Amino acid sequence: MTAQGAPVRRQGPPVGEGTLKDLSHPGRRASSFALLEVPDAPVPEELRRARLPSLPEVSEIDLIRHFTRLSQMNYGVDTGFYPLGSCTMKHNPKAAEEVAALPGFRRLHPLQPDSAVQGALELMWRLERALCEITGMARATLQPPAGACGEMTGLLIMRAFHADRGRARPKVIIPDSAHGTNPASVRLAGFEAVPVPSDPRGLVDVSALAGLVDEDVAGLMLTNPNTLGLFEMEIEEIARIVHAAGGLGYYDGANLNAILGRCRPGDMGFDIVHINTHKTFATPHGGGGPGAGPVGVVDALVPYLPTPTVERADDGSLFLERDRPRSIGRLHGFHGNFGVIVRAYAYVLLHGADGLREVSELAALNANYLAELVKEDFPLAYPDGRPMHEFVATARRLKEETGVRAMDVAKRLIDLGFHPPTVYFPLVVEEAVMVEPTETETRETLDAFAMALRQAAAEARTQPDLLHEAPVTTPVRRLDEARAARHMRLHW
Amino acid sequence: MRFAPHTDDDVRQMLSRIGRGSLDELFDQIPADVRLNRPLDLPAGVSEMQMVAEMRLLAARNRDVDEIVCFAGAGAYDHYVPSLVWQLAGRSEFYTAYTPYQPELSQGVLQVLFEYQSMICELTGLDVSNASLYDGATALVEAVNMARPAGEGRVLVSSGVDPRYVETLRAFGRGGGYEPEVFTSGEVPPIDDGVVAVVAQFPDRFGVLEPVRDLFGAARQGGARAIQVFDPLSLGVLASPAELGAEIAVAEGQCLGNHLSFGGPYLGILAARMEDVRKMPGRIAGETVDVDGRAGYVLTLQAREQHIRREKANSNICTNQSLMAIAAAIYLGWLGPAGLEELGRQCAARAAYAAERLCEVPGVELLVGGRPFFKEFALRLPRPAAEVRDALLDHGILAGVPLEDADGHALLVAVTERRSREEIDGYAIALAEVLS
């Protein structure tokens, strides 16, 4: 395979165009307004702004070319394969974009009376029920705008549940391989994070867990399959240990794409579940967001769900219920990321029960197939484990033999035309290379990516500079992150 | 409908390559007791055209603000969204991208976020902005967390702050170990050693321009952080947070080119002074150089964030609202300084005209009379506001947002640059009819 070059290149004039500010020319503007046909009503002098902010002064065509050029220096799922482990970068259906843009959804004010938003409430009601069926929960809230806020929601529910039982429990247990949001959320919810180690198989060390769990433990947070891509086979025993001490089980839905229609967090013994719609339900990631992080709970925790909930009246109409005395309250200014929720519901409608089950089957097939193709150069970090929808390999041996690190391989992949996988996560794996192909990729793409990875490994032995210096075909090459943090140029 | 591209032949050959006999075998490690041995109880999947038809039916059961004239605000506003904003932000290289962790492939998003931050600094007069939070209410929670880096200290909140923001603060405060203490808007409460944050909203929740300079001065004097909830589109006309003495400024950025969308996705704006930069939550884009000395952008100061600091992080935010920040950057570029000023002038003029016309209706008066306001004002109605609002829907008017104040007789009315004199006159006539 020849180095075909990076999938995004430098665009536009090579010099003379930097930021939007550089295009600014006094007196130019793109905006226009209706003539003011009512009397002017200036605000009092002492409350007026002294000097107008120095925003760029540009024309419409300046804006269009500038942002078009920038978009061309960006890589998305629509550009190509995006195998970021733990991120589930699958295809984002175009029809979901179209329906989210219908005026009947996009042009709704969040504080319209219930009678004027029955369709929106019906959609929320139906998606809540679908998510509950998929996860085995009793009720759910769609309010959290992202997974991390879902975690806060779940932990605050945990806190309220224990407080009602008259015992403040200060600790929450998380695996040492957990995503960083877990420990951060635990502390912000007022708990102490207690790590439980992984055993040599890459699974929760169940005897260590048993030793950690006592009446001070509010609950356990876990993904399953876990952050190493492996199914926690002793999940029933884990749930039993936590429940026996009066704790609750929290399921982090980061890896839900692995198990749709195969098993459900509720059946595994979890009490609280968050779902990342921007992973499993294909809502676009937006260059970092928006996402949505609905949270489902078992019956006993329903009174604590955030307010308002969507309820159905006897006459069949829907309303927002605000009188919920045991609720943890409000986690978002309005109803969460409704526009994202519309897209997630579109995805559920399109797939149905069989389609969702097939999603997980083919996600697992793609991950296992790709792992097999690259295992010689990038062996699984836990070779006895069986990956599900993603796999964690290691470049440890490659680094020992050649001095080439996982980061260098990642950067070389860019010159070979691919977005790299996640590297250096989970933190418990040395030189981690975490690959999640998702179900929407063809076998030909997986073959080509495997070939690129193997080529990079071969080059590490023969021409390591190709990797150390990569990428060379991108709009910019490796950037000086230390300098960015030291000099802190955070605006123009 | 499926998006997986596998043919039966693909599946067979791939299974054979990995030495498995069936797709079921890929799930062998799931213990038998927790397997779901029945199909999910969901309707069968449908084609794209069926899905679109079904969604259109649901959308048609809503009365959107193209059909009814919107005078509702309270944190979400019907400002005009220019065509180019979503034609550009809707380019799929932006919206199908992940968080820009591989900067060489993400210069587009990174540079737009840098430009967004720059324009937020220009607007607020403060030194540094992050690259977005979820929305205005959660941005306030993050601002309070900045003021409580050790997780200690009291939080004073003016009664002029949006009640939904206070509710959100109260919910998160249960984890953070604080209860927001509400003081009367317009007063300067005692600020002793235990107080670390003083929050006020300007314009306040009634739209009123309640002065905050003395309050913020006292907060700074007392060693507490002065936090302002502001309206980004007021800043071509009204004094900036920096001019008012705020040290941390937060806002709902929906008004900057983002659609109403029944409450989200919106944009949490947060700006602060340089000395607080290491306490800031969320992503921050910074400029640097590559190995060839060429300027480029990265996510910087990541040592603050949860993926590095884990349980010591001051915020748990990961996924944010980048796409909304991209839209905001494009929108602010569209406005320019002259547009920002014109927009503010139009909102103020149209709101003043609407208040005058509506208060001509017998029995209707301003809830807070004799005070300057910007684009929003509260009316005291002779009948419960929710009833009046419902009745006006039949006239094709979304009259505003009923408040709990004045025994439920208060209605908050917002008037943006989109509301014509004719629409305002129509509202006044319909209100008179409904109340007669």
Q: What is the CATH number of domain A95-350?
A: 3.40.640.10
Average pLDDT score over residue span A267-289: 97
Judge contact between A47 and B244, C-beta under 8 A: no
Query: Quick check: B185 pLDDT over 70?
Result: yes
Which pLDDT score is estimated for A177? 84
**What is the predicted pLDDT for the residue at A14?**
53
Contact criterion met (CB < 8 Å) for A110 and B288: no
Q: Chain B partners of A58 at a C-beta cutoff of 8 Å?
A: 333, 336
Contacting residues of A for B393, CB less than 8 Å apart: 113, 115-116
Question: The domain B83-329: what is its CATH number?
Answer: 3.40.640.10
| Predicted TM-score (pTM) of this structure | 0.98
Q: Which two tokens stand for residue A42?
A: 């200036």
Phi, psi of A417 (to 5 degrees): 100, 10
Looking at the predicted structure, is the pLDDT value of residue B227 above 60?
yes
Query: Cβ B55–A410 below 8 Å, yes or no?
Result: no
CB contact under 8 A, B319 and A108: no
Write down the CATH superfamily of domain A352-468.
Aspartate Aminotransferase, domain 1 (3.90.1150.10)
Higher pLDDT, B272 or B310: B272
Render pLDDT for A444-483 as a digit per residue (tens, 0 to 9).
999 999 999 999 999 999 999 999 999 999 999 999 999 9
3-state SS of chain B? CCCCCCCHHHHHHHHHHCCCCCHHHHHCCCCHHHECCCCCCCCECCCHHHHHHHHHHHHHCECCCCCCEECCCCCCCCCCCCHHHHHHHCCHHHHCCCCCCCHHHEHHHHHHHHHHHHHHHHHHCCCEECCCECCHHHHHHHHHHHHCCCCCCEEEEECCCCHHHHHHHHHHHHHHCCCCEEECCCCCCCCCCCEEEEEEEECCCCCECCCCHHHHHHHHHCCCEEEEEECHHHCCCECCHHHHCCCEEEEECCCCCCCCHHHCCCCEEEEECHHHHHHCCCCCEEEEEECCCCEEEEECCHHHCHHHHHHHCCCCCCCCCHHHHHHHHHHHHHHHHHHHHHHHHHHHHHHHHHHHHHHCCCCCEECCCCCCECCEEEEECCCCHHHHHHHHHCCCEECCEEECHHHHCEEEEECCCCCCHHHHHHHHHHHHHHHC
User: Do B84 and A64 lie within an 8 Å CB cutoff?
Assistant: yes
The shortest CB-CB distance from A338 to any of B145, B263, B374 is to B263
Q: With pLDDT > 90 as the criterion, what percentage of chain A qualifies?
A: 93
User: A192-250, pLDDT tens digit by residue?
Assistant: 999 999 999 999 999 999 999 999 999 999 999 999 999 999 999 999 999 999 999 99
Nearest CA among A380, A221, A467 for reference residue B316: A221
Which residues in chain A have Cβ-Cβ distances shorter than 8 Å to B238?
43, 47-49
Q: Which chain B residue has its CA at the smallest distance from A170's CA?
A: B175
Asked whether the beta carbons of residue A340 and residue B264 sit closer than 8 angstroms, the reply is: yes
CB spacing of B44 vs A353 below 8 angstroms: yes
Do the Cβ atoms of B305 and A109 come within 8 Å?
no
Q: Compare CB distances from A103 to B64, B131, B174 and report the shortest one's residue.
A: B64
Tens of pLDDT, residue by residue over B47-86, are 999 999 999 999 999 999 999 999 999 999 999 999 999 9
Q: Where are the beta strands (DSSP E) in A73-203?
A: 139-141, 171-175, 192-196
Largest CA distance in chain B: 82
Of the partner residues A49, A183, A286, the one whose CB lies closest to the CB of residue B323: A286
Nearest to A133 among B41, B128, B335 (CB): B41
> Would you call B3 and A93 a contact, using CB atoms and an 8 Å cutoff?
yes
Across-strand partners of A172?
A193, A219
Q: What average pLDDT does the structure give for chain A?
A: 96
For the residues B91-101, what does the mean pLDDT come to?
96
pLDDT at A7: 87
Whole-number average pLDDT of chain B: 97
Mean pLDDT of A340-349: 98
How many contacts (CB atoms, under 8 Å) link A and B?
709
Nearest by CB to A478, which of B17, B287, B290?
A: B290
Nearest CA in chain B to A270: B34
* Residue A488, token pair as written in the block: 């802190």
Residues of B in contact with A240 (CB under 8 A): none
pLDDT band at A116 (very low <50, low <70, confident <90, very high): very high
Question: For the domain bounded by B69-81+337-435, which CATH number is listed?
Answer: 3.90.1150.10
Section A5-26 average pLDDT? 80
Band the pLDDT of A15: cuts 50, 70, 90: very low
DSSP state of A20: G
Report the first-to-last Cα separation within chain B, whole angstroms. 55
Per-residue pLDDT for B283 more than 80?
yes
- Give yes or no for a contact between A383 and A392, defined as CB atoms under 8 angstroms apart: no
**Distance between CA atoms of B199 and B413, rounded to whole angstroms?**
24
- Please indicate whether, in this complex, the C-beta atoms of B10 and A443 are within 8 angstroms of each other: yes
- CB contact under 8 Å between A104 and B56, yes or no, is yes
Residue A233 is classified by DSSP as T
- For the segment B350-385, what is each residue's pLDDT rounded down to a tens digit? 999 999 999 999 999 999 989 999 999 999 999 999
Instruction: Considering only the beta carbons, identify the residue of A54, A188, A286 that sits closest to B175.
Output: A188
Domain ranges of chain A: 95-350, 352-468
B69-81+337-435 and B83-329 agree in CATH topology: no
